[in-house]
Copies of this chain bind each other. A is one copy, B any other.
Amino acid sequence: MRILVVNVNTTASVTEAIAASARAVAAPGTEIVGLTPRFGAESVEGNLESYLAAVGVADAVARYDGPFDAVIQAGYGEHGREGLQEMLDVPVVDITEAAATTAQYLGHRYSVVTTLDRTVPLIEDRLLLAGLDRRCASVRASGLPVLELERDPDRAIAAIVAQSRLAVEHDHAEVICLGCGGMAGLEDKVRAETGVPVVDGVPAAVTVAESLVRLGLSTSKVRTYAAPRTKRVTGFPLQWGDESR
């Protein structure tokens, strides 16, 4: 089974870290392929960048040359998943939702700890749309941007642990979701400091995607996620993109 794990930003090192995190949990026989969008932002921290990512991710998948069995959109709280579902016949899993459904099996309520405060409403909105909001105790921000996780990991971890503790003690969360595709590998630290299970969305999404494939299930095509109607579409996938680089 081959699963495409698509980063939402254009930073290749983040794609590599995400793919490594996915491979660490993948079942024997599952091949993980990491994809990076050809255009968009080096880190996605807001709606405009996220809409760019939605198209960038779709473009990356549309241009992928070869068969695959499932796609994981590896951005937390981002736009775009529904478009992939229309475009593809294989299952599509968003890490925001995979982390949430996993967390809901582990405790009465869960919290998400993410990067910047400005991304909190995006995550809240995605959970609301996914019908996974009611057991979400809070979405908290560490205050550090995505790329800081690579640059100064100690400081990032300290901030994430601090917010996770507040989520447990103040918001009554019983599980923590790491709210950023780039937080892979922090689970143990946060668990050790808070005493609660910690869910990273990428490995969670790998198990969900593998499960759907094994169950022989894929996106329903009767209504919302039916294939796009045949019509004139200009500029997708972005053919001109090649010349323009």
Which residues from chain A sit less than 8 Å from chain B, CB to CB?
10, 25, 27, 38-43, 45-52, 54-56, 58, 79-80, 82-87, 91-93, 97, 101-102, 104-109, 117-118, 120-122, 125, 128-135, 145, 168, 172, 174-175, 195-197, 199, 203-204, 207-208, 210-212, 214-215, 217-226, 228-229, 231-236, 238-241, 243-245
Contact = CB atoms under 8 A, between A and B. Distances in A.
Nearest to A235: B39
A57 to B, nearest CB: 9
Nearest to A110: B220
Nearest to A199: B217
Contact of A106 (B82, B120, B220): B220
Given A195-B222, A224-B118, A104 B86 contact: no
Contacts of A121: 108-109, 223-224
A223 B228 CA distance: 34
B104 A91 contact: no
A95 to B, nearest CB: 12
A245 B122 CA distance: 34
11 contacts: A25-B214, A39-B235, A40-B236, A41-B232, A128-B129, A131-B132, A196-B222, A204-B215, A235-B238, A238-B238, A240-B240
Contacts of A236: 39-40, 52
Contacts of A42: 231-233
Contact of A105 (B40, B97, B129): B97
Which has the most chain B C-beta neighbours within 10 Å: A106, A120, A241? Answer: A106
Contact of A208 (B87, B211, B243): B211
A151 B203 CA distance: 43
A220 B174 CA distance: 6
Given A46-B86, A211-B208, A243-B243, A106 B235 contact: no
Q: What 7 A-B pairs are tightest by C-beta distance, nearest first?
A: A240-B244, A39-B235, A207-B211, A107-B220, A47-B82, A48-B83, A174-B220
